[in-house]
Amino acid sequence: MEKMTETIGFIGLGAMGNPMSRRLLAAGYTLIVFDKRKETVDALLREGAGEAHSPVEMAGKANRIITMLPDSQAVEEVVLGPQGIIQSFAPGSILMEMSTSSPYSNRMIAQALEEKGIDMLDAPVSGGVWGAGAGELTIMVGGKKDVLEKVRPILACLGSKIFHLGIHGNGNIAKLLNNLLSASLQSASSEALMVGLKAGLPLDTFLDVLRSGSGKNYSVEMKIPNFVLPGKFSPGFAIDLMNKDLDLAMEVARLAGVPVPCGALAQQIYRLARSEGLGQNDTSAVIRIWEKWTKMEARSASEQR
C-alpha cells in the first residue's frame, strides 16, 4: 500500500546505481533519476523512469531519495549544495545515503536535514555489481530504527541482508572496516597465488586448494575466478574507490585510537596499484603488481591461447 504513495528519486547511476535503480523500476516503484552523466540517465528513461534535471528538482517531486555517489564530496554537493536536495525536500521525507562515504560527513548532513524535519539513513552496501543486479546486497544501516522500518521494503528490494548498527554514521563505519578487511584479504590472496605459480604449482589446482583450505575468503572464492582468471578487470569495484575507502577506514581507526598494521599495509598496496595506473580496474587487479614482479600471469588456459 505504501508503495503507491512513494516516489523514489535515485541519484548516481553508475556501476552500482544503474542495476539498483533498475530493480526498483522492475518492482513497480515510481522512480525519478538524476546523474551528471546524461548517457546513464537516458538508458533508464527508456525503461520507464522519470527525469529530474537537478537534485533540487528531484526533491520537489520525490518523498524518498537514494544517493549512490563516488564519495562524500559528491554527497555533500548533491544534498547541501545550492542545487541540493535540502532546498526542496518536504519534512517527513527520507534520504537513504547508500554510497561508501565518510561517517563524519554523514552525521553532519543528517543533523542539517533533521533541522528541516527530514530523515536520513546511511545505508552503504557490500556485494558488488552482481549483488546489485540480483538484489542480494548486504546493507549496513545507521540512523533511527523507526525510519529504517518505513523504508525497509525499498531496501529489501535491493538487499537480502539488512543490518541496523545504531546511530548515524555507524553503517559507514561497518562498511569501511569491511573494506579494510577485504583489501587485506585480496592483497594476501594475490601474493600467495603468485608465489605458488612462480614456485611451479598448477594454477587451477592450487586455486582449488586455496578455496578449500583454511585461507579461503571472498577473493579466492569469487574475485580471482571471475575477474583474474579471465583477465577481465571491469566493470566492478574500482581501485580508485577502494583507495578512498581505505583512507576513510584509516581515519575511523585513528579516531578510535586503535593501531591497524594489517590495514595500513593494505592501504599502501592499493596506493601502489593506483600509482601503477590500475585505478579504473576492479580491485582484484591488485594481483597485477605481483604479476609484474614475477613476470607471470594468473590466467585460465583458454585466455592464454
Which is closer to ligand NAD, CB of 14 or CB of 142? Answer: 14
To the nearest whole angstrom, how small is the minimum distance from the Cβ of residue 42 to ligand NAD? 12
Query: What ranges make up the beta strands (E) of 152-264?
Result: 159-164
Q: What is the nearest approach in angstroms of ligand NAD to the Cβ of residue 23? A: 14
> At closest approach, how far in Å is the CB of 200 from ligand NAD?
34
Residue 72 vs 187, nearer CB to ligand NAD: 72
Q: Angle 203-212/170-198 helices, nearest 10 degrees? A: 140
Closest distance of CB 245 from ligand NAD, Å: 6
Our answer to whether residue 198 is catalytic in this structure is: no
Nearer Cβ to ligand NAD, position 124 or 143? 124
Least Å distance, CB 225 to ligand NAD, is 16
The closest residue (CB) to ligand NAD is 14
230 prior amide bond cis, ω within 30:
no
Closer Cβ to ligand NAD, 111 or 234, answer by number: 234
- C-alpha to C-alpha distance for 39 and 47, rounded to whole angstroms: 13
CB-CB neighbours of 236 under 10 Å: 20
Instruction: State in angstroms the smallest separation of the CB of 106 from ligand NAD.
Output: 12
Residue 45 and residue 33 in contact, taking contact as beta carbons nearer than 8 Å:
yes
Catalytic residue, candidates 175, 223, 292, 295 = 175
Spatial separation of the C-alpha atoms in residues 277 and 239, rounded to whole Å: 10
Q: What does the binding site for ligand NAD look like in residue numbers (CB under 6 A)?
A: 11-17, 35-37, 40, 68-70, 74, 77-78, 99-100, 125-126, 128-129, 236-237, 241, 245
All residues at 6 or more sequence positions from 272 whose CB lies less than 8 Å from its CB, including other chains: 289
User: Which letter, b or e, does each residue of 260-289 get, where b requires 16 or more Cβ atoms within 10 Å of its Cβ?
Assistant: beebeebbebbeebbeeebbebbbbbbbbb
Give 103 or 236: the residue with its C-beta nearer to ligand NAD.
236
Are 68 and 17 within 8 A, CB to CB?
yes
Please give the sequence-ordered ranges of beta strands (E in DSSP) within 104-166, or none if there are none: 119-122, 125-126, 137-141, 159-164
Q: Which residue number, 143 or 159, has a Cβ lying nearer to ligand NAD?
A: 159
In the chain, DSSP assigns E strands to: 7-11, 30-34, 50-51, 64-67, 94-97, 119-122, 125-126, 137-141, 159-164
Catalytic residues: 175
